[in-house]
Every structure is written in structure tokens, then in C-alpha cells.
Amino acid sequence: MIPLESLNGVATFVATARSNSFTEAAEKLGISKSAVGKSIARLEQRLGANLFHRTTRRITLSADGEAYFAACASALDEIAAAESGLGPRSREPVGRLRIDMASAFGRQFMLPILLEIGNAYPGLHFTMTFTDHVIDPVEEGVDLAIRFGELADSSGVVARRLASQQWVICGSPAYLARHGTPQNLDDIDEHRCVVGYRRGLPLSWRVKQDGQSFRLHPPPTHQISDGEAMIDAAAAGLGLCQMPLSLFRKPIEAGHLVTVLDDYRPDPVDVHAIWPKVAHLRPKVRHVVDALIELGSQGRFD
């Protein structure tokens, strides 16, 4: 029989494998960095194998570590799923839910909903991250991710559609007064634009012309990696910007932005809830996903 201390070491190992450093793992686990290091060292000594490649800045799994992580992560997921299905509170969401969201959409729409759920279920603890780059939920150790658009690779995840979002191009009245209102897609080349920025590259826009959807590459005058900052920049008059209409709604109603090129709006883009494939979906994930689907059907994300 494996001693209890070794089982604790396995849990520490899995959390560390899902982190970039012992410091990050310690923050996730709520223990000290040295405690993480000692636990990993004891585990490596017991196994007789080095599980990590270590540098001064980050850690990566060794070949032995990759194999051990695959087995341990799966086993811990099965144990957690089994435990969550026992007892009279098996249907109530409890435990820590790690959820990652697109920044502007997450803060405007998801955060208020999650706060409501958190108040209703005090046994549910959130770890929330707001990022606009695409992540791998399995690799990042995320229970649930909320993302726009098509899924590039869905082999290791499950996805449920929450809503569809209409994307529009907007500019501030002051900007349009200075630079004119574009009448067609060719006019965009003469304008200043606020575009998303991801992995060192400016992002394209979605448009539709003569029934055909395609990607347009506007002048990347201002490149910003945060959705809320993009909206603020457009409202401040720095240029045209494309985002979901739901995120522009408040500044439009306040008169800070107006839509342009409405005849070239693309087809609506789906919003998905994404989570890693597991044998048993945990109540905490199931409850939040079901709540989001229901709220989406009520137009809460419009």
C-alpha cells in the first residue's frame, strides 16, 4: 500500500506539472515554495526518477514525468468525480472551480453570473482568469473555459454552445467627424484601426460581402491584447474597432460609439463553454454549465 504522504506528494506533483514553476504551484496549493520542492524531491526519490527539467525560470516535465503525470492526473480526476457523486449534497456544486474567460466578455457578462452562483453555493470556490488568447484547458489545468468562435481542436475537450454574438465595427462620433465614415470595405484602408493582438500578431476582422464570409486585415494602427482596453480606445477616438455588439452596447447607448459598415456584418459567432473530457462530469462543472446554457437561452449574453 502506498503511504498517505506519498499520495499527498502525487497531488502536489500534478498541481506542479500544471504550473510553470514551483512558486506558481505553491500559490495554487496554498503552501510554501519550499514545501512544494521538498514534496517533489521525496516523490522523485521514492520513484527513482527525475520528473522535471529545472531551470532558474521555469520547470518542464521529463519523459518520465510526462508518463507519470498522464496516469496521476487521470486517477485524481476519477477520485474527485467519485467523491463528488457521494452523499446528500452530490448535486450541489462544491470545491474549487478553475474557469478562464475572454477578458471583456468575462468581466461584463460572466463575472456577475459567477458571483450570483458563488453567493448561492458558498462551498464553491473560484479561481478566475481573464485571458484573450486561446488556451488548452487540459494543459492549463482549467475546469471550464469560455471562448468565442470555432474550435480548432476539440479531440480532448467537450464544448457546449451558450449563445451567438453579432460582431460589429464601431467608431466614436469624434473620430468619424475627423476621418469620415467608411462606406465600404475598401475605405477601411484609409482609416486608423484598433485591433486585437495575440501571439505577437495583430488579429483580423470578420466581414461578409456578397454572401461570402472572409477575414479582413485592417490597418493595425493600435494593437491591444485586452478586449476592454480595445473598447476604451475606440470610445476615446483612436480608431475603428470590431467586437461583439453585446460588448459595445453600453458605449453605443451612451453615445460614445456608433456602428459603421452594417451591410458587411459577418454571420454571428458562437460562444462556447469548453471543458476537458472526463469519464464523470463533476457537479461543480455541470451546475455552472447548465446555468450558463439556461441564461444564454434567456438572452442574458445579448
Is it true that 4-84 and 167-264 share their CATH fold?
Answer: no
Between CA 113 and CA 99 the distance in angstroms is: 13
Kindly report the number of other CB atoms within 10 A of residue 84's CB atom.
Answer: 22
Q: How would DSSP label each residue in 262-298?
A: GGGPPPPEEEEEEEE--SS--HHHHHHHHHHHHHHHT
Quick one: pLDDT at residue 248? 95
Q: 205-218 burial, b if ≥16 CB within 10 A, otherwise e?
A: bbbeeeeeeeebeb
Cell of 117: 452562483
CATH of domain 4-84: 1.10.10.10
Domain ranges of the chain: 4-84, 95-161+270-297, 167-264
CATH of domain 95-161+270-297: 3.40.190.10
Q: To which H or E segment does residue 139 belong? A: helix 137-140
Quick one: pLDDT at residue 231? 96
Quick one: pLDDT at residue 300? 86
H-only helix segments in 172-282: 173-179, 227-235, 245-253
What string of pLDDT tens digits covers the 302 residues of the chain?
555 555 768 889 998 998 888 898 888 888 899 999 999 999 999 899 999 998 878 889 999 999 898 888 877 776 766 665 555 555 678 888 899 998 899 999 999 999 999 999 898 899 999 988 777 777 777 889 998 887 666 667 888 899 999 999 999 999 999 999 999 999 999 999 999 998 889 999 999 999 999 999 999 999 999 999 999 999 999 999 999 999 999 999 999 999 999 999 999 999 999 988 775 677 888 889 998 999 888 888 88
Question: Architecture of domain 167-264 in CATH?
Answer: 3-Layer(aba) Sandwich (3.40)
For β-strands 193-198 and 240-244, DSSP reports them as parallel
Query: Directed axis angle between helix 63-84 and helix 4-17, to 10°?
Result: 110
